A = this chain, B = another copy of it.
Amino acid sequence: MTHHVRVVYCTQCAWMLRAAWIAQELLTTFQAELMGGGATLEPGTGGVFEVYADDELVWSRAADGGFPDIVALKRRVRDRIAPGRQLGHADRAAARAAGDGAGDGAAMG
């Protein structure tokens, strides 16, 4: 199944570069899932910074406050487009934070 992510960024705030960085991080980690779909960079205005996975909002600067930690963002995107997928570093970091010591899968994060 083909998937798609989208980063909407404010041009007035000059956030194209960080939007492009995030898009490339997601294209690298979710290369197989995004094959034939992809990552869209969408210029916007008014301080917008939003990330969508298959049109579901997974990060909003307004609602979540500021910019996403890339590892946390990948978990949110994974939960939407590749729920069974181990993210390696990202999952281990989350497991450590949760204090359960789990998450020794192969690193893909």
Closest to A30 in B: B43
Judge whether A105 is part of the interface by a CB distance below 8 angstroms.
no
Residue A35 lies at the interface, judged by CB distance under 8 Å to chain B: yes
A11 to chain B, nearest CB (A): 6
Q: A16-B28, A20-B24, A24-B16 are in contact. Are A41 and B43 (CB under 8 A)?
A: no
Contact between B16 and A41 (Cβ–Cβ < 8 Å)? no
Interface bracket on A: 20 to 34
**How many copies altogether?**
2
Select A43's contact among B11, B34, B44, beta carbons within 8 Å. Answer: B34
Give every chain B residue within 8 A of A31 (Cβ-Cβ).
11, 43
Q: CB-CB < 8 A to A71: which residues of B?
A: none
Minimal beta-carbon separation of A72 from chain B (angstroms): 22
Cross-interface CB contact of A35 among B24, B38, B44, cutoff 8 Å: B44
Complex formed: what's the CA distance from A44 to B42 in Å?
21
